[in-house]
Amino acid sequence: MLIHGGTAFIGGTFTRADVRISGGRIAETGALSPMPGEETRDASGLFVLPGFVDIHIHGFGGYDCMRGEDDVRAMSRELIETGVAAFVPTTMSAGEDETRAALLGIQAVCDRPEACGARVLGAHMEAPFLSPKHIGAQRGECLQLPSVAAYMRMTAGVNCVRMMTLAPELPGALELIKELKRRGVVTCAAHSDATAEDVHAAADAGLTQITHIFNAQTPLHHRAPGVPGAGLADERITVQMIADCIHLHPDVLRIAALCKGATGVALISDSMEAAGLPDGQYALGGQAVFVSGGAARLAGGVLAGSTLKMHEAVRNMITRAGIAPEIVIPMATSTPARSIGAVGYGEIAPGYAGVVVMMDAGWNFVGALRE
């Protein structure tokens, strides 16, 4: 397939270039002519971007990764239509057996991917080693203290865990972070009552990310900068951010982007099953969730994931937070990929995943192209 006439994001800048996709991969870029019989798409007046990489997502389109393999497969098929090239299905607080079952469902799709779907890069465990003081929409009765033994029980026979969110101030957390680092699992802090000092100490042990910065964690006070302050100040840390303008004010999106730059922020959806569907009643982790005006809340009013799509996060960062597109696009593509060591995603370059996104001059999503 030849995508011609567009303005492509290549090597960190926008440039007039045609893009050829062949055999499921980006084949070449530049001034290209169609080959005999080749399918062509006109991208005149459009931006052509790498497929998005979403490293924190619970559900989409009525599907939830806690319900098993079939739901993860459906997420894979639907997400690619929204421009997502790869994603990391994210578990919720649940019992140990239920968590392990969900991980095995995610692993099945890792091992045998959907032919025409967004690729599953592994699993992100968002529970159960969290603080009850910042529980968000997690289930309190399922939380436990960090423990290598509990991690081993939940992941027996599982080899797909790529990320773990935990509260680094809890007893046992540093030992678990070190073990996860040894195993190549990326550790992230959230649902946490940590001080900034706790977070820096966790980074010394191997923690490299803050999950949904500012949400479900200590606040940034000027004499006690908490989890978000440490995440913004510590150059070893990448911050995941929900850019829906519901979880965070546009000024806060801008502050984080100015602090961390293109390589320090990973835009995430943190979406639940209502993403891509109308307002109404849904579920997250077995709890009723009410979606109104795109905001997903438990009955008590606590935010319960989002209904955000990655292309909407990109548009919000550019048009509402006022951040330059050259800074924003990496935050949805190459930075999240690199933050978990995923090779072959997040760039328009030969050999990379053959999924590209088209957006118009107002940063509205036009469509995803793949082969």
Q: Binding to Zn ion by residue 78, rule CB under 5 A?
A: no
Least Cβ distance, residue 113 to Zn ion (angstroms): 23
Least Cβ distance, residue 126 to Zn ion (angstroms): 5
Least Cβ distance, residue 57 to Zn ion (angstroms): 8
| Choices 39-47, 101-109, 217-225, 265-273 (CB under 5 A): range interacting with Zn ion | 265-273
d(CA 253, CA 145): 31
Size of the site for Zn ion (CB under 5 A): 2
Among 270, 273, 312, 347, the residue binding Zn ion under the rule CB under 5 A is 270
For Zn ion, give the closer residue by CB, 22 or 144: 144
Residue number of the CB atom closest to Zn ion: 270
The active-site residue out of 18, 193, 270, 360 is 270
For Zn ion, give the closer residue by CB, 305 or 330: 305
Per-residue contact string for residues 99-138; x = within reach of Zn ion by CB under 5 A? ---------------------------x------------
| Choices 64-72, 128-136, 266-274, 332-340 (CB under 5 A): range interacting with Zn ion | 266-274
Least Cβ distance, residue 116 to Zn ion (angstroms): 26
Least Cβ distance, residue 216 to Zn ion (angstroms): 9
d(CA 290, CA 307): 11
What are the tokens at 303?
């935010």
CB-based burial label for 44 (10 Å; 0-12, 13-18, 19+):
exposed
For Zn ion, give the closer residue by CB, 56 or 370: 56
3-state SS string over the chain? CEEECCEEEECCEEEECEEEEECCEEEEEECCCCCCCCCEEECCCCEEEECEEEEEECEECCEEHHHCHHHHHHHHHHHHHHCEEEEEEEECCCCHHHHHHHHHHHHHHHHCCCCCCCEECCEEECCCCCCHHHCCCCCHHHCCCCCHHHHHHHCCCCCCEEEEEECCCCCCHHHHHHHHHHCCCEEEECCECCCHHHHHHHHHHCCCEECCCCCCECCCECCECHHHHHHHHCCCCEEEEECCCCCCCHHHHHHHHHHHCCCCEEEECCECCCCCCCCEEEEECCEEEEEECCEEECCCCCECCECCCHHHHHHHHHHCCCCCHHHHHHHHCHHHHHHCCCCCCCCCCCCCECEEEEECCCCCEEEEEEC
- In angstroms, the Cα distances linking 318 to 31, 49, 253, 264 are 28, 14, 10, 16
Least Cβ distance, residue 350 to Zn ion (angstroms): 34
For Zn ion, give the closer residue by CB, 178 or 297: 297
| Choices 133-141, 185-193, 264-272, 342-350 (CB under 5 A): range interacting with Zn ion | 264-272
For Zn ion, give the closer residue by CB, 126 or 198: 126
Q: Is 111 a catalytic residue?
A: no
| Choices 127-135, 148-156, 220-228, 269-277 (CB under 5 A): range interacting with Zn ion | 269-277
For Zn ion, give the closer residue by CB, 306 or 316: 306
Q: For the segment 141-160, give every residue that binds Zn ion (CB under 5 A).
A: none
Least Cβ distance, residue 100 to Zn ion (angstroms): 19
For Zn ion, give the closer residue by CB, 1 or 302: 302
Pairing mode of beta strands 18-22, 295-297: unpaired
Which residues are designated catalytic?
270
Residues that bind Zn ion (CB under 5 A): 126, 270
